[in-house]
């Protein structure tokens, strides 16, 4: 067992089956080529296009499997998400939506398969027919291009709204303070919070905190922005202000992937709706088909349950308040917080960084491999 595996408490790594990059094999399910040429952002959201770097990224998910112990949570996910498109992921609780999102920026490792953004494999380095897990610092660097907004905001409690937004560009990208601050003010204006730059998260409503979290994610000019139920921790009257901000980002360049139970929002904003159940993509397509004319009974009954309020969008206990612990400099803030002093492990459920030795976490490519990772 590798040190990494021991720290993660995962036991021996499973063999890792990954489709050849650039092979002829197409993903079993494929997105329409949505909106490769993103139109200009609306006039009322001039800063919605974060910056030159953040043209949307092409996200390719191939044959992804993920288990926690004996529970196989992702059972072979294939998706291709077009640059600049908006994808809404729907599905019952426990179907693997969050896990899928977390694999996209390597907050979770993969047991099989491969995820790439603009052709760059996320979380792994390819060497011959093996994939080696990247050292944490390289993963953190990759995450600067893949932002994430969580249900529970995860703002740095000891920093003002402005500091929350400037932190990652300053520390992860080395942006000079003045420049980072100027951009942060623009982003706070974009999310409607110009007047809240100098207040602390505890002085903000949930909707305002989530808008700061969105500004923070945008500050790294991500190619891809992942939202995991961004409104489900909010009081109903605060939901719309956050959805409005997300709407303003749609087709402004960045590729958006949004896990949500807001069906009408998904219908309005998404190019593609993906319905997941039991670790599989049951169907995907434009909202007019998947939401209005679903092909599968499972989709129909899920939508019916959501509409009648009998699908509980979040049966788990309410998330704990944001930790005051100093936290990460990645595009993503942690859903589960890290111990004090741990900067490298933040942004993930992973334990603290263990250094370059991580690269020895190897996964075979492209076939099953019997190597023991001990």
Which residues, at least 6 apart from 252, have a Cβ–Cβ distance to it below 8 Å? Answer: 38, 41, 45, 48, 49, 50
Q: From the centroid of its chain, how far is CA 205? A: 23
Residue whose CB is less far from ligand ATP, 312 or 372: 312
330 binds ligand ATP (CB under 6 A): no
Burial of 195 (0-12, 13-18, 19+ CB in 10 A): exposed
For residue 19, count other CB atoms closer than 10 A to its CB.
18
CB atoms within 10 A of CB 157: 17
Considering CB under 6 A, how many residues would be counted as binding ligand ATP? 13
Please, how many CA atoms are within 13 Å of residue 358, restricted to the half-sphere of its CB? 22
Instruction: Work out whether 95 is an interface residue with Mg ion (CB under 5 A).
Output: no
Which residue's CB is nearer to ligand ATP, number 167 or number 342?
Answer: 342
Assess 11 for contact with ligand ATP (CB under 6 A).
no
Q: Which two tokens stand for residue 263?
A: 């069906």
Contact between 94 and ligand ATP per CB under 6 A = yes
Q: Which one of Mg ion, ligand ATP, none is in contact with 286 (Cβ closer than 5 to 8 A by kind)?
A: none
**Would you count residue 33 as binding ligand ATP (CB under 6 A)?**
no
Is the backbone of residue 160 left (phi > 0), alpha (psi -120 to 50) or beta? beta
Q: Smallest gap, in angstroms, from Cβ of residue 48 to Mg ion?
A: 26
Q: Which stretch binds ligand ATP (CB under 6 A): 27-35, 94-102, 212-220, 281-289?
A: 94-102
Work out whether 91 is an interface residue with ligand ATP (CB under 6 A): yes
- Binds ligand ATP (CB under 6 A): choice among 25, 93, 264, 374: 93
> Residues 2, 47, 85, 98: which binds ligand ATP (CB under 6 A)?
98
Nearest-CA neighbor of 79 among 106, 110, 113?
113
Distance CA 230, CA 262 (A): 10
Which one of the spans 88-96, 169-177, 206-214, 265-273 is the region binding ligand ATP (CB under 6 A)? 88-96
How many helices (H) and strands (E) the chain has is answered by 10, 13
Q: How far apart are CA 269 and CA 120, in angstroms?
A: 27
Residue whose CB is less far from ligand ATP, 108 or 133: 108
Binding region for Mg ion (CB under 5 A) out of 98-106, 112-120, 136-144, 277-285: 98-106
Q: Which of 80, 87, 95, 337 binds ligand ATP (CB under 6 A)?
A: 95
305 interacts with ligand ATP by CB under 6 A: no
Smaller CB distance to ligand ATP: residue 152 or 160?
152
When asked if residue 231 is in the footprint of Mg ion (CB under 5 A), the reply is no
> CB under 5 to 8 A by kind: which of Mg ion, ligand ATP, none does 210 bind?
none
Q: Cα dihedral angle (258, 264, 269, 270), rounded to 10 degrees?
A: 60
**Closer to ligand ATP at the Cβ: 181 or 311?**
311
Residue 55-84 contact track with ligand ATP, rule CB under 6 A, x = bound: -------------x--x-x-----------
The DSSP string of 234-302 is S-HHHHHHHHHHHHHHTTSSSEEEEE-S-HHHHHHH-SEEEEEETTEEEEEE-HHHHTTS-SSHHHHHH
Selected range binding ligand ATP among 76-84, 97-105, 136-144, 172-180, rule: CB under 6 A = 97-105
Size of the chain in residues: 374
89/353 with CB nearer Mg ion: 89
* Contact between residue 169 and residue 180 where contact means Cβ atoms under 8 Å apart: yes
For residues 225 and 191, the answer to whether their CB atoms sit within 8 Å is no
Contact 121, 166 (CB under 8 A): no
Which window, 90-98, 231-239, 250-258, 277-285, contacts Mg ion (CB under 5 A)? Answer: 90-98
Which of 2, 95, 98, 210 contacts Mg ion by CB under 5 A?
A: 98
Q: Nearest distance from residue 27's CB to Mg ion, in Å?
A: 23
**Chain contacts with Mg ion (rule: CB under 5 A):** 98
**Chain contacts with ligand ATP (rule: CB under 6 A):** 68, 71, 73, 91, 93-99, 314, 349
């Amino acid at each position: 067992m590798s040190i990494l595996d021991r720290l993660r408490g995962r036991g021996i790594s499973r063999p890792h089956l990954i489709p050849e990059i650039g092979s002829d094999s197409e993903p079993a399910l494929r997105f329409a080529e949505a909106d490769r040429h993103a139109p200009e952002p609306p006039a009322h959201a001039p800063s919605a296009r974060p910056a030159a770097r953040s043209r949307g990224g092409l996200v390719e998910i191939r044959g992804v499997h993920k288990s926690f112990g004996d529970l196989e949570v992702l059972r072979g996910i294939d998706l291709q998400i077009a640059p600049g498109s908006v994808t809404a992921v729907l599905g019952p609780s426990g179907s693997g939506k969050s896990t899928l999102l977390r694999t996209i920026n390597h907050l979770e490792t993969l047991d099989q398969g491969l995820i790439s953004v603009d052709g760059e494999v996320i979380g792994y380095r390819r060497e011959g027919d093996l994939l080696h897990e990247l050292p944490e610092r390289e993963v953190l660097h990759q995450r600067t291009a893949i932002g994430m907004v969580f249900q529970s905001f995860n703002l740095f409690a000891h920093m003002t709204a402005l500091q929350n937004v400037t932190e990652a560009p300053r520390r992860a990208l080395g942006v000079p303070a003045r420049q980072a601050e100027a951009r942060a003010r623009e982003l706070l204006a974009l999310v409607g919070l110009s007047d809240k730059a100098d207040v602390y998260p505890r002085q903000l409503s949930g909707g305002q905190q989530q808008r700061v979290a969105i500004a923070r994610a945008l500050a790294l000019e991500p190619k891809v922005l992942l939202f995991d139920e961004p409104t489900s921790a909010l009081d109903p009257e605060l939901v719309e202000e956050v959805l409005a901000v997300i709407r303003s980002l749609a087709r402004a360049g960045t590729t958006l992937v949004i896990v949500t139970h807001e069906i009408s929002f998904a219908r309005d904003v998404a190019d593609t709706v993906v319905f997941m159940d039991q670790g599989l993509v049951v169907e995907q397509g434009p909202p007019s088909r998947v939401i209005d004319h679903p092909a599968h009974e499972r989709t129909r009954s899920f939508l019916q349950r959501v509409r009648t309020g009998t699908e509980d969008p979040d049966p788990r206990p309410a998330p704990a308040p944001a930790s005051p612990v100093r936290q990460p400099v990645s595009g993503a803030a942690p859903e589960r917080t890290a111990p004090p002093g741990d900067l490298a492990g933040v942004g993930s459920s992973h334990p603290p960084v263990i250094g370059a030795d991580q690269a020895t976490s190897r996964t075979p490519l492209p076939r099953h491999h019997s190597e023991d990772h001990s």
